[in-house]
Amino acid sequence: MSARGEGYPRRMKTSQKTDDRDTGANLTSPVMAAFKVFQQELDTKHDKHERLVKLSRDITIESKRTIFLLHRVTSVPDVEEVLTEADLKLDGVRLNIRMIAEELRGEDLHQFHRAFTPGIQEYVEAVSFHHFIRHRTLISLEEINTKLVFVKEPEDTPEGQQPMGTPQVLTFQVTPTDYLLGVADLTGELMRMCISSVGNGDMDTPFQVSMFLRQIHDGFSYIGNTGPYEVSKKLHTLRQSLSKVEDACYTLKVRGSEIPKHMLADVFSSRTAMMDQDEGMA
Calculated CA dihedral for residues 12, 16, 17, 18, nearest 10 degrees: 100
Is 125 marked as a binding-site residue?
A: yes
The closest of 178, 49, 43, 34 to 107, measured between CA atoms, is 49
- How far the first Cα of the chain sits from its last, in Å, is 67
b (16+ CB within 10 A) / e for 147-167 = ebebeeeeeeeeeeeeeeeee
Which contiguous run of DSSP H or E holds residue 236? helix 229-255
Closest CA to 184 of 238, 222, 221: 238
Residue 104 neighbours by CB under 8 Å, 6+ apart: 112, 172
Position 272, amino acid: T
Residue 66 to residue 87: CA distance in whole angstroms: 9
Angle at which helices 176-199 and 113-135 pack, to 10 degrees?
A: 40
Tell me the binding residues: 125, 189
Tell me the binding residues for Mg(2+): 125, 189
